[in-house]
Amino acid sequence: MQARADDLRRDGVVIALVPTMGFLHDGHLALLREGRARCDELVLSIFVNPTQFGEGEDLDRYPRDEAGDLDKAQRCGVDTVFAPDAGSMYEPGYQTYVSVRHLSEPLCGARRPGHFDGVASVVTKLLNICKPQVAVFGEKDYQQLAVIRRMVIDLSIDVEVVRYPIVREPDGLALSSRNRYLSDSERASATCLFQGLEAARNLAHTGERDAAKLVTACREVIEREPEARIDYVELRDATTLETVDRLEPGAQVVLALAVFFSDTRLIDNARLSTK
């Protein structure tokens, strides 16, 4: 892959990378279309990265569909699929990790120790291997995107990070490979994530500035669903991910949440603003 990327770059070809863990859904396909519009050579990486899964998480049962992914990739105009195995990404003796310290600590980082070190490390490797000028990431994994953007700046990595808005089902549920774990009734209840975010957003538009009240408005909607178990709902600065007490006019803040349905943990987020 590195040799291929070198050849392409020598010929002046612009490479875009869409890093994924496979089991592609319409959200991934939107990232691919965005990448396609920005490059000559579209590279899709498919790698279920073991170092970003904690003990007891769903590494072993993470959904895979290689044939389906290749078919979708072809239909989205992907030129190259990079699908390494774990052994070649992490050779015996592997010991180097990238840690984006403060951004990795709160929210999902607090519940999934080491997760963002795994993400930052594998993304660094994927960028070094595929050598794209452009890399596209979805905003559903908001903290992941914040970590990667910081990492790219801090390590002077020569790539443009493109963020793509959350793609949702018609009823508002954010697309995620993990949605397939939901039972029918959990799937129906899971719309409460989006509804909770909307409740907070609407309250913000009526002039409410108090972070605690905005968070409560969101939590109340989710708590009405007996199958939903809130992991966190928090209002944070959109760039630093530091806590905010008030939604000040012009401030960039994000309401981020994680909610369990049985063992399935879904995340979602929305930017809030005063109108």
Binding site for ligand PAF (CB under 6 A): 19-21, 49, 52, 119, 122-123, 141, 144
254, burial (CB in 10 Å: exposed 0-12, middle 13-18, buried 19+): buried
Residue with tokens 């009823």, as numbered in its chain? 171
Structure tokens belonging to residue 84: 């390494």
- What sign results for the dihedral spanned by CA atoms 92, 95, 97, 101? positive
Instruction: Rank residues 147 and 215 by Cβ distance to ligand PAF and give the closer one.
Output: 147
Catalytic residue among 28, 102, 115, 205: 28
Q: Which is nearer to ligand PAF, 49 or 189 (CB)?
A: 49
121 or 189: CB nearest ligand PAF: 121
Least distance (Å) from ligand PAF to the CB of residue 50? 10
- Give the other-Cβ count within 10 Å of 48's Cβ: 20
CB of 187 to ligand PAF, least distance (A): 21
Nearer of residues 144 and 189 to ligand PAF, judged by Cβ: 144
Contact 218, 233 (CB under 8 A): yes
Q: What is each CA distance from 235 to 27, 101, 239, 258, 267, in whole angstroms?
A: 24, 20, 12, 12, 14
For the CB of residue 20, give the shortest distance to ligand PAF in the complex, in Å.
Answer: 5
- Tell the burial category of 62 from Cβ atoms under 10 Å away from its Cβ (0-12, 13-18, 19+): middle
Closest to 160 in 3D by CA, of 150, 171, 152, 168: 152
Decide whether 107 or 123 has the Cβ nearer to ligand PAF. 123
- 3-class secondary-structure state, position 76: coil
In the sheet with 228-237, reading across from the earlier edge strand, the strands are 228-237, 253-261, 264-272
Query: Rounded to an integer, what distance in angstroms lies between the CA atom of residue 204 and that of residue 198?
Result: 10
Q: Is 28 an active-site residue?
A: yes
C-beta of 124 vs 189, nearer to ligand PAF: 124
Active-site residue set? 28
